[in-house]
Structure 1
Amino acid sequence: MQNYYRVLGVSLTATAGQIEQAYLAQRTRLRRLAADPAMQARLAEVEAGYGIIGHPRRRMAYDVLLAQQPAEAALPPHHYAAEARWYHYARIARSLNVALLACCLLLGLDWALPLRQYAHETVQSRFPVSVPSALSAPEVAYRVHTAHTSFRLPSAIGHRVRTGQTITVWQTPILGIVLRISAPASPDGPAPFQPYGGTIYGVFFLLPLLLAVVAGVGAWPGHSPETYVNTAAVGGLLTILTLVVLLCF
């Protein structure tokens, strides 16, 4: 048997005014989350509970039936406040998951669209930068700028692009991530090669794909508050890893 006193968050000895106040507070909070089916079910329970214990005669009959039920362990008052906080955090976490899923879809669209090609790009500058691959032995990469693009090259292939050289660059159309470079004047030949940053669509493609799955689960309606919060936490960590790969590799 449903304990409507617990649903409304009031004691068995609550006055009619306290019951109405608790009902109005619950209804206001849950209506803001009405897009979630789980919150709709919760709101229906609150409405049903107030329809019974908010009516004096119905409450008397309900109290008789409730007294015949096996005794339940009383929950501390802070339990209901903690539950309310969980629902508040769940709403924020679900919004974060929706935002992360949108970012993953943007990455997918950026990868799927045809690449933008810049032929006959002149290398305007090339200077060394540090790449934190390891704290004890950081690698050296090269930051290269052309008229339309900017990218970094690993030191192992840095000799293939020189200042004043003419190259061809292939870049994603939305985020502008350089995926391939061809340097015909390079001693290694004109075969295209990959700079830093493009690996998010290459060897590290599983990272944004996993992020999309986690964010999708966290954005889908009908889950418990704990699921929304946990998926948002995991999604946040995966986002940090994705940004590290995008910026450093």
Structure 2
Amino acid sequence: MQNYYYILGVPNTASVAEIERAYRQMHARIYRRAIVDPALNDRLQAAYAGYQILADPRRRWAYDRLMQQEPESFALPPRPPDPTKVLLARAAPKARWVNWALLAFCLLLALDWALPLREYANEPVLGRHILSISVSASNPQMAYDIFTPNTKFRLPSAIAHRAREGQLVTVWRTPLLRVVRKVSSPTSPDGPAPFEPYGGGVYSGPLALLPLVLLGVAVVGVLPKRPAEVRVNTAVVGMLLWIVAVVLILIY
């Protein structure tokens, strides 16, 4: 005789509300997988049958009388651990270290941003490579990768004339990650006023929000007493944000 209390994961003293909640939670958790998994489908069907009986006071009373004839049936065996929770528990310590590493990366970005920029004066432009930066054929956009002896940066086509081959420019770059923040072209017809390269790296414009979001995710992941699921999820999201940040640093 099936022990519906065990199937639903509730004690035999559970109220109707607790039984209904247990069934709803189980249904929400496995009903999609039960469509393609016969074992889970059988389990869900058994849970539904148990819910129908235990939620009806008269049917439950009769069921309990039958169960009392099999006393061992009320002794609930230990429930098998949820495989997903086991995996999350195993991954949580490593995920926390990943979050600590991401937090250290955010501190590196903050230090790189705060330190004085390194100035490269009178840098000759060695080359200009044209490339497309548009994602729409109806609105094509071009940019230029500019190369000097010590730096590389990208300019939109609208101001690319300010850094032509052989022209001298002054470049300001962060000291640690070598992100170009400002460029000046004293001999340009537009004047020597500094201007930002395309995109501005991860320190200006809309992209500046990326390190802040990464910092917030990493902080949540290293806080004490966080559930394993939170630690793993923050580590995964943080790694994706870190990849985007590194790509932006390498490109710009």
Partner residue in 2 for 1:123: 125
Quote the offset at 1:238 in angstroms.
2.5
Partner residue in 1 for 2:215: 212
In structure 1, which of residues 223, 230, 233 is the aligned counterpart of residue 233 of structure 2?
230
Q: Deviations over 1:197-216 (max 9, x none)?
A: 52411112121111111101
With the length of structure 2 as denominator, give the TM-score of the two structures: 0.64
Q: Say what the alpha-carbon RMSD is for the aligned residues.
A: 2.2
Count matched residues: 177
Quote the offset at 1:172 in angstroms.
0.2
Partner residue in 2 for 1:24: none
Distance 1:207 1:167, change over 3 A: same
Quote the offset at 1:188 in angstroms.
1.1
Distance 1:243 1:139, change over 3 A: farther
Rg comparison, structure with higher value: 2
With the length of structure 1 as denominator, give the TM-score of the two structures: 0.64
How far, CA to CA, are the matches of 1:167 and 1:83 in structure 2? 57
3-state SS of paired residue (1:189): coil
Q: Which amino acid aligns with 1:210?
A: V
How far, CA to CA, are the matches of 1:72 and 1:127 in structure 2? 75
Distance 1:211 1:162, change over 3 A: same
Quote the offset at 1:239 in angstroms.
2.5
Distance 1:245 1:74, change over 3 A: farther
Residue pairs, 1:167-246, within 5 angstroms: 167-203=169-205, 204-246=207-249
Deviates more, 1:118-127 or 1:195-204: 195-204
Identity %: 50
How far, CA to CA, are the matches of 1:85 and 1:74 in structure 2? 22
How far, CA to CA, are the matches of 2:120 and 2:75 in structure 1? 72
**Runs of 5+ consecutive residues of structure 2 not aligned to the other structure:** 1-73
Q: Is the 8 A contact 1:198 1:246 kept in 2?
A: no
Partner residue in 1 for 2:16: none
Quote the offset at 1:248 in angstroms.
5.3
**Runs of 5+ consecutive residues of structure 1 not aligned to the other structure:** 1-70
